[in-house]
A and B are shown apart, each in its own frame.
Chain A
Amino acid sequence: MKSASEFFAMGGYAFYVWGSFGVTFVCLVAEVWLLQQRRATLLKRLIALHGRKG
């Protein structure tokens, strides 16, 4: 079993390996967050408009 520091060093390729997985993770989290924002804004607008016109 490798030590934690050895594991994170990725044999000298830490920047490339974690840069790949890190950016992927950030992208996916951002997509989910934006989607939640979109739904929340949409529902707010629809609720505000509800019942305005007959």
Chain B
Amino acid sequence: MAMRDLHIFRFAAPKLFYGLAGKMIPWFVVLAVLFTLAGLYVSFIVAPADAQQGEAYRIIFIHVPAAWMSMFLYLLMAGYAGMSLVFKTRLSAMMARSLAPTGALFTFIALWTGALWGKPMWGAWWVWDARLTSELILLFLYLGFLALQAAIDDVQRADKAGAILALVGAVNVPIIYFSVKWWNTLHQGASVSMTKSPSMAATMLTGMLLMALACWMYSIAVSLARVRCEILERDRQTTWVNELIGDMKK
């Protein structure tokens, strides 16, 4: 048995990961659908209207999970980018690139739903508050990462430049997270804190967590689907892709 067969990084080989990802996607799709249905049920049917905000507070059931995802996905992307710089693993760079569009999308959703909540509650679609501004910067970081990679033809150079941008930009994530503590912001404090018990009813928390799980499952499914495209594009001249395409032709 060759050494690489024993290696835990076996699936870091794009060829093997392509097949593995293909098998994993349907499971994550099913989980995403189930968590979405359960999450929407709790968010709209089970959870009662809020005493102060009425029905408008239901926006937070999508707003908070989207905002969490925008930050988690960025850290994950920066993590993969860092790995691609340090270990020169090709798959890590492909993963970083595959996570970026979904991260940008959740950042946009967080900003959009925040504006729709802000208008009836604060009387303004947008304020230049520390939390909102740093989240907007996050969107620009994602878009900058995507634009930079698209602008450089040489794949390895594009990966390297993108990785550096992703890592430098990672400093923004704690700024977003702690902005409500560090500055006197209009945005309310953390809904769920790791240090104290949540400041909300259990059903609201359940709804939010179910929606967050749905977002996670969705993100994993689309990122895996995207990394499969990325692998095929980059490995198109290899024997294994040639054989795969040959089998599809039959």
Q: Which A residues contact B (CB, under 8 angstroms)?
A: 7, 10-13, 15-17, 19-21, 23-24, 27-28, 31-32, 35, 38-39, 42-43, 46-47, 49-51
Known: A11-B49, A31-B105. A16 touches B119 (CB 8 A): yes
- Say which one of B57-65, B126-134, B174-182 lies at the interface with A: B57-65
Main SS of chain B's interface residues? helix
Q: Are B54 and A39 interface neighbours, CB within 8 A?
A: no
> Complex: how many Å from CA A39 to CA B226?
8
> Complex: how many Å from CA A40 to CA B101?
18
Known: A24-B62, A31-B222, A47-B248. A17 touches B56 (CB 8 A): yes
Q: Are B113 and A47 interface neighbours, CB within 8 A?
A: no
For B237, the closest partner residue in chain A by CB is A53
Report the interface size class on chain B: 35 or more
Shortest beta-carbon distance from B213 to chain A in Å: 15
Q: Are A42 and B232 interface neighbours, CB within 8 A?
A: yes
Q: Are B55 and A17 interface neighbours, CB within 8 A?
A: yes
For A41, the closest partner residue in chain B by CB is B229
Known: A16-B117, A20-B113. A32 touches B222 (CB 8 A): yes
Which one of B59, B233, B246 contacts A20 once the chains associate, using CB atoms below 8 Å?
Answer: B59
Q: Which B residues contact A (CB, under 8 angstroms)?
A: 44, 49, 54-56, 58-59, 62-63, 66, 101-102, 105, 108-109, 112-113, 116-117, 119-120, 218, 222, 225-226, 228-229, 232-233, 236, 241-242, 245-246, 248-249
B63 — which chain A residues lie within 8 A by C-beta? Answer: 20
Which of B44, B105, B116, B248 neighbours the largest number of chain A CB atoms within 10 Å of its CB?
B116
Q: Are A10 and B58 interface neighbours, CB within 8 A?
A: yes
> Complex: how many Å from CA A7 to CA B59?
14
B105 — which chain A residues lie within 8 A by C-beta? Answer: 27-28, 31
Shortest beta-carbon distance from B240 to chain A in Å: 12
Shortest beta-carbon distance from A43 to chain B in Å: 7
A43 — which chain B residues lie within 8 A by C-beta? Answer: 232, 245, 248
B242 — which chain A residues lie within 8 A by C-beta? Answer: 50
Q: Are B55 and A24 interface neighbours, CB within 8 A?
A: no
Q: Are B109 and A24 interface neighbours, CB within 8 A?
A: yes
B55 — which chain A residues lie within 8 A by C-beta? Answer: 10-13, 17
> Complex: how many Å from CA A17 to CA B59?
6
> Complex: how many Å from CA A38 to CA B193?
39
Selected A-B contacts with CB under 8 Å, 23 pairs: A11-B49, A11-B55, A12-B54, A13-B120, A16-B116, A16-B117, A16-B119, A17-B58, A17-B116, A20-B116, A24-B62, A24-B66, A24-B113, A28-B218, A31-B101, A35-B225, A35-B226, A38-B226, A43-B232, A46-B236, A46-B241, A49-B236, A50-B246
